[in-house]
Structure 1
Amino acid sequence: MTNLVILTGRIARDPEARETQGGTSVTGITVVTDRPARDKDGKTYKDESGYTAKDSEFHRVTCFNGLAKTVGQYCSKGQLVSVQGRVHYTQWEDQDGIKRYGCEILADKVDFLSRASGGDNQDAPPID
């Protein structure tokens, strides 16, 4: 059995990097993917501009250790990336005792498909 996710999309906001008490680097990004929107009959349709309407989905992606450092340093909002990893579900109780659920992608690999917008990133790893 396999739990494999591959996403290609744009980073919605700048990465959020932190370090755990144990010294593990963790960086979170949100990747936005689009797909054609469909009407109640299941057909795609055009928006007011004449383009195919799209539905966007936002995916929470978490990176660890060396990957976390690289993503935190070289990625920024608007950059096109490809993420490979696995789906991870969590559950917890909030302050009011209500059971909450979450879903995120734990990244094994992040490929930079475009350069970060703004800033000098001459030291950034090469794009394949």
Structure 2
Amino acid sequence: MNSLRNSVRLVGNLGMDPEVKNFDNNKQLVKFSLATNETYKNDKGERVTETQWHNLIAWGSQAKFIGDYLKKGDEVAIEGKLTNKNWVDKDGNKRYMTEVVVNDFIKLKG
């Protein structure tokens, strides 16, 4: 039941080619964005589509596979967990970011 406490599942399209970073200790990190769409009808009966953008990261063998085989536009289903970051930028402003750390994924189309 603990795995349900912080669990995210998304289906969407990559908004960019994955960016792979290699570290000295042979670790790999991949970063990419994912767009999810929700469609509904408004008060006038018009069909409206809203897009949400998500920042995703993956480590290790997942990072290598994503970097090698996925590209902008590919449709994927992912499962992961939310993480929050904060930092102070060069202008002294506090910045915040929420990322999804990918645990598993399936390429659907692309």
What TM-score results when the alignment is normalised by the length of structure 1?
0.77
CA distance in 1, matches of 2:102, 2:50: 23
Find the partner of 2:68 among 42, 55, 73.
73
In structure 1, runs of 5+ residues without a counterpart are: 47-51, 117-128
Shift of 1:96: 1.7
| Residue in structure 1 matched with residue 92 of structure 2 by the alignment | 97
Q: Is 1:24 aligned to residue 19 of structure 2?
A: no
TM-score (norm 2): 0.88
The list of structure 1 runs, each at least 4 consecutive aligned residues, that deviate by more than 3 angstroms after superposition, is none
Label 1:113 to 1:44 Cα distance change in 2 as closer, same or farther (>3 A): farther
Helix, strand or coil for the counterpart of 1:60?
Answer: strand
Amino acid at match of 1:9: G
**CA offsets per residue over residues 31-75 of structure 1, 9 Å max, x none?**
100112565xxx4842xxxxx210101101101000000000000
Question: Given the superposition, is the C-alpha separation of residues 69 and 54 from structure 1 closer, same or farther in structure 2, using an over 3 Å criterion?
Answer: same
Partner SS, residue 68 of structure 2: helix
* Higher Cα radius of gyration: 1
Task: Give the alignment partner of residue 14 of structure 2, picking from 4, 11, 16.
Answer: 11
Letter of the structure 2 residue corresponding to residue 34 of structure 1: N
Secondary structure in 2 matching 1:53: strand
Partner residue, 1:33:
36
| 1:106 aligned partner, one-letter code | V
Determine which structure has the larger strand proportion and give its number: 2
Relative to its length, the structure with more helix (as a share) is 2
User: Any conservation in 2 of the 1:62–1:107 contact (CA below 8 Å)?
Assistant: yes
Amino acid at match of 1:101: Y
Runs of 5+ in structure 2 lacking a partner? Answer: none
1:83 — aligned with what?
78
